[in-house]
Homo-oligomer: A and B are copies of this chain.
């Protein structure tokens, strides 16, 4: 029998993919001339992936309303921003990756300049979608735009990426932060902010109250962090075939991880604690929270 998470993914992901494939990235005048830009944008958007952020937007929306297809443009905006961040992350100047989801990275296919521009255009397009294509009043759309800008920007995802880059270089000690605090702030921003943002977007579209907002924002931050701790544990003990990279590769690179900092045992305790926190935050949602609970379980159980 399928669990609540599988059922949700089976219901939402094909519709999300269809919506994303259907997005028009060219107008009539520039269609012919700028076609390669639109192609580069769709190459990465249509590459698949877990669609975690759009699924979270829809899950949060369904806590309060049934007509979840209304949330698709909002869910898509979060996926466009996530996709742009992957394109820029893969650039030679950043992580210098040749492969993403089993295919050559964007800059390997379209060149570095076009990859920079495709990322820039996707970020801009996400805000256009929220301003123009969401069925909601102007005040709600402003709330969604403000939420995305905060989740994606200097105090969210991009801020986390900046801390990540600084922590890898010689600047780490100059920053003189406690490394544990540093790691936690880094991942709450780099991953947690967009996960929280995607959840809040679903709540805001459905007109949820401040208490639910606060609860889901914290839930998103906690599972974003849990996701990273689980990743660090998997890098140490996981199945190479499942993980898609060599075991111990982070350690070999001298990267700061929860395992390298606290050891395997304490990292596992941290994961259990984050799992407990996440489930506690869902308790008041009762049965409606089952899909989000299953998602939290899935993130933690990748470790086994």
Contacts and interface: CB of A to CB of B under 8 A. Distances in A.
Interface of A: 25-27, 29-30, 32-34, 36-38, 41, 84, 88, 91-94, 107, 111-117, 119-121, 123-125, 127-128, 130-132, 137-139, 141-142, 145-146, 148-150, 152-155, 158-159, 161-163, 165-166, 171, 175, 177, 182, 185-186, 189
Contacts of A189: 30
Contact of A155 (B26, B107, B113, B163): B26
B185 A155 contact: no
Nearest to A107: B93
A87 B36 CA distance: 22
A37 B116 contact: no
A154 B116 contact: no
B124 A177 contact: no
A34 B138 contact: no
Contacts of A150: 128
Contacts of A84: 120
A116 B130 CA distance: 24
Candidate in A114, A127, A132, A138 with the most chain B CB atoms within 10 angstroms: A127
